[in-house]
Every structure is written in C-alpha cells, then in structure tokens.
C-alpha cells in the first residue's frame, strides 16, 4: 500500500510542504476536515500563525480527533507555528494547543519578520552536509521533557526535536530545496 502524507491546509505555508513531498515522490492530501485524517498515514502542520491556525482547528472540529490519533502513535511533523501548536505550553500566552509534545516555547523569540534569517546548522542524523535553516519569527524552545530528543541545536537552543512519533522544528525546511527532513519524516511514517 502506498503511503499518503497529509498537510494541514487551514492556514499558513502548506503549499510549500506539498511541493516538498512531491519532490520526494510521496502522495499528499491537503487536510481541511476531521474525516481527512482517516485518509492519511502522517500529517505535517505548517508554519503560519499559530493562534489563527489553532482557532480554525477548533472551529472545524479537527483538534480533538487529531490529538487522539497522535496519542495513539500517529506521526506528525510541525514546522514553526506547527511546532507551537504541538507544544504543551506557550510562555505567557493563552492559545489553543494540541499539547502533545513535551516542550515549552516562547513565540517570536528570534525577532520580527524583518529579522528573519538563514543559517547552516548541523543535523547529525542527516549526515555531514549542513542544513540551511530558515527562521521566520520563530519560536524558541525554553523547556523540554526528558523524553524529547534534540536532533539539532542553534546557539545552544534545540531547534529540531523528536518525541516518539512527533517531530518539530522551529525553522522552515519547506522553504529550501533540501528534502532531508521531509525524507526523515517519511521514514518515521514508514515504520
Ligand atoms: N510567529 C508565528 C507564531 O507565533 C510563527 C511564525 C512562522 O510559522 N513562521 O505562530
């Protein structure tokens, strides 16, 4: 059976993730409704505005079923706003969260839109070649649980983490041509 990966398409840069998945030749589905979750083997939550995305998720009724699925082992990958939505806690801000990834984040911790930046980081599990990480009003992980594995750091902060079936990055691999993190996620889905 062929795998199909969903990209949450309620808000944010979901089209870029779809293009990335097309590049690696995997079937995709833009997910908008709770029932779409039954048609996919894993889900990417894109970057965007986590407050808006979280509210829309509640409004369309996809938040609760998604949380249930993730708790049962369904693979998810969140980038930037997606990472915020997966987290258990956002410091000094109250917003709808999935609350499944044992991290606390501080939003917009790397500055405003104009202070967006790109930097080469090392991701050991992806080989020697550095990864070009794009940070756009990115969240910073300020606390993490003992079961959360740090896959990459930038200036001492974790920027790519994994807790079992949950992968999250504070940067945007979908805005580069480097497909290695998407392929890594695909391998998580295959297992
Ligand atoms: N600053 C956004 C938020 O807090 C995230 C930005 C992004 O996804 N690039 O939701």
User: Which pLDDT score is estimated for 1?
Assistant: 65
Give the domain range for residue 11: 4-190
Contact 82/49 with Cβ under 8 angstroms? no
128 is catalytic: no
46 CA: nearest ligand 1 atom: 8
172 is catalytic: yes
Q: Which of 57, 107, 142, 168, when mutated, tests ligand 1's pocket best, judged by the most ligand atoms within 8 Å of its CB? A: 107
Report which of residues 105 and 112 the model is more confident about.
105
Percent of the chain with pLDDT over 70: 99
Determine the Cα angle at 57 with ends 109 and 173, to 5°: 45
Q: Which of 10, 13, 48, when mutated, tests ligand 1's pocket best, judged by the most ligand atoms within 8 Å of its CB? A: 48
Widest CA span in the chain: 45
Q: Is the pTM of this model over 0.95?
A: yes
13 CA: nearest ligand 1 atom: 8
User: Which pLDDT score is estimated for 49?
Assistant: 97
Residue closest to 49 by CA, chosen among 5, 103, 6, 8: 8
Mean pLDDT for the stretch of residues 101-115: 89
| C-alpha of residue 119 to centroid of ligand 1, in Å | 18
User: Which pLDDT score is estimated for 110?
Assistant: 86
* Separation of alpha carbons 191 and 162, rounded Å: 15
pLDDT digits (tens, 9 = 90+) for 123-177: 999 999 999 999 999 999 999 999 999 999 999 999 999 999 999 999 999 999 9
What is the total count of domains within the chain? 1
CATH code for position 55 = 3.40.50.880
> pLDDT tier at 5 (50, 70, 90 boundaries)?
very high
> pLDDT tier at 53 (50, 70, 90 boundaries)?
very high
């Amino acid at each position: 059976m062929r795998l199909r990966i969903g990209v949450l398409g309620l808000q944010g840069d979901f089209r870029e993730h779809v293009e990335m998945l097309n590049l690696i030749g995997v079937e995709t589905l833009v997910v908008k409704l709770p029932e779409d979750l039954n048609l996919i083997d894993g889900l990417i939550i894109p970057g965007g505005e986590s407050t808006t995305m979280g509210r829309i998720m509640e409004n369309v009724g996809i938040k609760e079923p998604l949380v249930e699925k993730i708790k049962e082992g369904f693979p998810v990958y969140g980038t930037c706003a997606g990472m915020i939505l997966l987290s258990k806690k956002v410091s000094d801000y109250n917003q709808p969260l999935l609350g499944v990834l044992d991290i606390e984040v501080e939003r917009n911790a790397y500055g405003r839109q104009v202070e967006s930046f790109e930097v080469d980081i090392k991701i050991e599990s992806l080989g020697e070649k550095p990864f070009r990480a794009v940070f756009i009003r990115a969240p910073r992980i300020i606390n993490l649980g003992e079961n959360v594995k740090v896959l990459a750091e930038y200036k001492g902060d974790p920027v790519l983490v994994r807790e079992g079936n949950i992968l999250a990055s504070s940067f945007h691999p979908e805005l580069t041509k480097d497909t290695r993190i998407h392929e890594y996620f695909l391998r998580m889905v295959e297992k």
